C-alpha cells in the first residue's frame, strides 16, 4: 500500500500544484490508526477525499517502487571520481560495463 504522502503529492501534481505546497500548508499525521491529513491549507484546491486518494494508489505504488530503484542505484554506483578514473583507464566502453552491472541489478 502506497504512503499517504505519495498519494497527496500525486494529487497536488494532477491539480497543477507542486510538492512545495507541503511545506506550510499540509500536515499529515498518524495517531496509531493510520495516516491521515490533519491540516489542509492549499489555496485553490480542496482537500482530497478518500476516493481521490484511492484513485492514486497504483500510480503511487509505481512511483515508490521507482524511487526505491533510483535510491538503490545511487547507493550502488561508484563515486564520480571512481567513474572518471574508470573512463581514463578503461575508456567509455569499460565504464559502460561497470555501470551496466548496477543498472542490471536494479532495473527500472
Residue 6 has a CB neighbour count (10 Å cut-off) of 19
- The mean predicted confidence, pLDDT, of the chain is 95
What are the DSSP calls for 43-96, one per residue?
A: TT-PPPPHHHHHHTHHHHHHHHHHHHHHHHHHHHSPPHHHHHHHHHHHHHHHHH
Residue pLDDT, tens place only, 42-64: 999 999 999 999 999 999 999 99
Fold of 4-76: Phenylalanyl-tRNA Synthetase; Chain B, domain 1 (3.30.56)
Look at residue 30 and tell me whether its pLDDT is greater than 90: yes
pTM of the model: 0.78
pLDDT band at 31 (very low <50, low <70, confident <90, very high): very high
For CATH 3.30.56, the residue range(s) in the chain are 4-76
Amino acid at each position: 500500500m502506497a504512503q499517504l504522502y505519495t498519494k497527496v503529492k500525486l494529487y497536488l501534481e494532477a491539480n497543477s500544484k507542486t510538492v512545495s505546497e507541503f511545506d506550510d500548508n499540509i500536515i499529515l499525521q498518524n495517531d496509531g490508526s493510520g495516516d491521515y491529513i490533519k491540516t489542509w491549507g492549499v489555496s485553490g484546491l480542496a482537500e482530497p477525499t478518500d476516493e481521490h486518494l484511492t484513485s492514486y494508489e497504483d500510480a503511487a505504488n509505481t512511483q515508490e517502487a521507482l524511487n526505491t530503484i533510483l535510491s538503490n542505484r545511487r547507493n550502488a554506483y561508484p563515486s564520480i571520481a571512481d567513474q572518471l578514473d574508470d573512463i581514463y583507464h578503461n575508456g567509455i566502453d569499460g565504464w559502460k560495463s561497470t555501470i551496466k552491472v548496477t543498472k542490471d541489478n536494479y532495473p527500472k
